[in-house]
Amino acid sequence: MGRYILKRILQLIPVVIVVSFLIFIVMDMASGDVVSALSGDMTLAEQELLRHQLGYDRGVLYRFWIYFKGLLHGNLGTSLVMGESVWKLYISRFPNTLVLAFASCVVCYALSLPLGIVSAIKQGSLVDNGCTVLALLGLSIPNFWLGLMLIIAFSLKLKWFPSMDFKGFSSIILPAFTIGTGMMAQLTRTTRSSMVDVIRQDYLRMLRAKGVPENTVITKHAFKNALIPIITIAGQQFAETLGGAVLTETVFTWPGVGRLTISAINSRDTVLATGCILLTTVFHCLVILLVDILYAYIDPRIKGQYVKGKRKGSGK
């Protein structure tokens, strides 16, 4: 298992190289004349000096090579606008995004898993249709609109929760509910589909024939064996949320990674924007790796296949 983890980590290296190159090229093409945007009241001579210092008097491949050499030494560069280390700026915002991601996923799982399980048990019934409509409703409502409605209702009218910034637990509820309901539909449908496949299995009929309570059959046996596709979607959703729910963070002025990235793009801070997107990609890949590792602990057959393949490859 250790070799598998090491192999997956090493696979991140070409991903980081390709992603960093693509991001750098796209940001360079889209940002236009960065020096003119940053120059302010500088004279033409000062602008030329700044252009030389930033390497904009050389080709884009040369600038990428300089940037990539910095990456090899763990240097993501310095923000062109804020004048601070990209790593420090990102890490200062990342905990806020991490908290919001966890809270959003808790809301999503708390809604999706019960709805999916009930829909599978009551397949074809009015309850099943109602759960499906409720899940699709969460998908069809735009996050920014839902966020604004929640702010109007619970912040301006009822004054139960703050409407902006990170001011403690109460400030997490509205943005977490906004993002969580948006993710609810996909996980609900996946849970329902996976549970429908499992509850038809013969071994569950045998458990019921032996007198095992229905709640135990569903929660202990059926749900456990339906977890693989559920964990796949749940892990992907958590990884995507770490990327920053840009619209939600903007509506609630949440000091997270997504808002930092958008701010960097708007100010043509190519170094900061590139660093934010690159770090988000790395964290996204690490979350997917953790999900893959989790598979082996939930389903021993996956670990057994890996061990068997390793032995066959070693000639034993």
* Extents of the domains making up the chain: 2-72, 86-314
Q: 247-279: per-residue pLDDT in tens?
A: 777 777 778 888 888 888 887 787 888 888 888
| More confidently predicted of 306 and 288 | 288
Q: How confident is the model at residue 214 (pLDDT cuts 50, 70, 90)?
A: confident
Tell me how far CA of residue 128 lies from CA of 109, 115, 196, 222, 244, in angstroms: 18, 8, 12, 18, 32
Looking at residue 84, its pLDDT comes to: 85
State the number of CA atoms in the 13 A half-sphere of 94 facing the CB: 15
Average pLDDT over residues 41-50: 70
Q: 290-314: per-residue pLDDT in tens?
A: 877 777 666 666 555 555 555 444 4
Cα–Cα–Cα angle for 308, 312, 313, nearest 5°?
115
224 with 239: CB under 8 angstroms?
no
Residue listed under structure tokens 């992603």: 19
Domain 86-314 class in CATH: mainly alpha
Q: 147-171: per-residue pLDDT in tens?
A: 788 888 887 887 787 776 666 677 7
Please report, in angstroms and rounded to a whole number, the separation of the first and last CA atoms in the chain: 17
Average pLDDT over residues 192-213: 77
Looking at residue 136, its pLDDT comes to: 77
Question: Whole-angstrom Cα distance, residue 192 to residue 125?
Answer: 13
Read off the tokens for 107: 């809301």
Looking at residue 316, its pLDDT comes to: 44
Best CA proximity match to 77, nearest among 281, 267, 276, 283:
276
- In this prediction the pTM is 0.75
Residue listed under structure tokens 């170094």: 271
| More confidently predicted of 91 and 203 | 91
Looking at residue 37, its pLDDT comes to: 60
Average pLDDT over residues 88-98: 88
Question: Whole-angstrom Cα distance, residue 243 to residue 218?
Answer: 34
Read off the tokens for 121: 């048990």
